[in-house]
Amino acid sequence: MPAKIISGRDISTTMRAELAEEVAAMKADTGVVPGLATVLVGADAASEMYVGMKNKAASTMGLNSRQITLPADTPEAELLGVVEGLNADPEIHGILVQLPLPDHIDEARIIEAIDPAKDVDGFHPISAGRLMTGSGAFFSPCTPAGVVEMLLRSGHDPSGQHVVVVGRSNIVGQPLANLLLRKAPGGNATVTVCHSRTRDLAAVTRTADILVVAIGRPEMITADHVAPGTVVIDVGTHRVDDPDSERGYRVCGDVLFDEVSEVASAISPSPGGVGPMTITMLLANTVESARSAG
């Protein structure tokens, strides 16, 4: 029996409607409009597309969306000044500096310059430290938080489950493992983290109740990696050549969907899975920041 589809697009639509109602109520009750500032340095096509999608989604939900676009040769000191100005701006509750940055700019220094109270991307070292220790307020990184929300809203609570995460990046794999381990809703899982050096990867992934794949390799996970009945979340998004397509390419994930969907009990597609949730969680963090600031 083919797997049930966990549609990040559908869950995202529901969440954005909920957030739009909250934004409207906040504005009516307090006059506060959550503000999201996106900073883009240079003219990278993919970054421009991502920032455009984020700003469009923010505006549609009623947020105050502000985009700052700087030339690729902007000095690091000037970018730091922009960030400092946004830190001090009471109308801005969330700051996102789109990565990657030009080579002459130290990304870590820029991220560390963002006020942790406005770090809606969840990349600041203080945010990461509080996530790991479970102490203090912090914003969860958007993609891992989106994965957890998808599991909860699709009826696959990670609590008590063995979750295998394939990928150990600072952006997805490691923070996701910490979220799943927390003594909190969406947590209390038993977590195994795999990566490119894991021996006999398939033997490990077949032990999973829930398998989350964020390895960054197109269609790497096949049916051989998945035990019958496993819930599979595919974080990857890739554009691969396809001469049979009119566009000459197709979009796929880290999971070989057609194969794995015949074995799994539920699976997220790519595209249409985790991608929309990442933007939605960014907006949710911004609304939460505005709520806390008020």
Q: Is the pLDDT of residue 47 over 90?
A: no
Q: Is the pLDDT of residue 137 over 90?
A: no
Q: Give the domain extent around 105.
A: 31-115
The number of distinct structural domains making up the chain is 2
- Please indicate, yes or no, whether residues 154 and 270 belong to a single structural domain of this protein: yes
Q: Is the pLDDT of residue 43 over 90?
A: no
Note whether 229 and 264 are within 8 A (CB): yes
- Catalytic: which of 4, 29, 44, 98? 98
- Is 73 among the residues known to form the active site? no
Q: DSSP H helical segments within 61-157, as ranges?
A: 76-88, 107-113, 125-133, 142-153
Express each pLDDT in 51-90 by its tens digit. Answer: 899 999 999 999 999 999 999 999 999 999 999 999 999 9
- Please indicate, yes or no, whether residues 270 and 147 belong to a single structural domain of this protein: yes
Express each pLDDT in 154-209 by its tens digit. Answer: 999 999 999 999 999 999 999 999 999 999 999 999 999 999 899 999 999 999 99
User: Dihedral of the CA atoms 19, 20, 22, 27 (nearest 10)?
Assistant: 140
Mean pLDDT confidence for 31-42:
96
Q: Is the pLDDT of residue 1 over 80?
A: no
The pLDDT confidence band at residue 255, using thresholds 50, 70 and 90, is very high
pLDDT of residue 127: 95
- Is 67 among the residues known to form the active site? no
- Please indicate, yes or no, whether residues 65 and 174 belong to a single structural domain of this protein: no
- Please indicate, yes or no, whether residues 149 and 233 belong to a single structural domain of this protein: yes
Task: Using alpha carbons, select from 224, 229, 172 the residue that is nearest to residue 195.
Answer: 172
Amino acid type, 150: M
- Please indicate, yes or no, whether residues 172 and 242 belong to a single structural domain of this protein: yes
- Please indicate, yes or no, whether residues 108 and 147 belong to a single structural domain of this protein: no
Mean pLDDT confidence for 243-249:
88
pLDDT of residue 173: 97
- Is 98 among the residues known to form the active site? yes
- Catalytic: which of 4, 10, 29, 54? 54
- Catalytic: which of 118, 119, 121, 254? 121
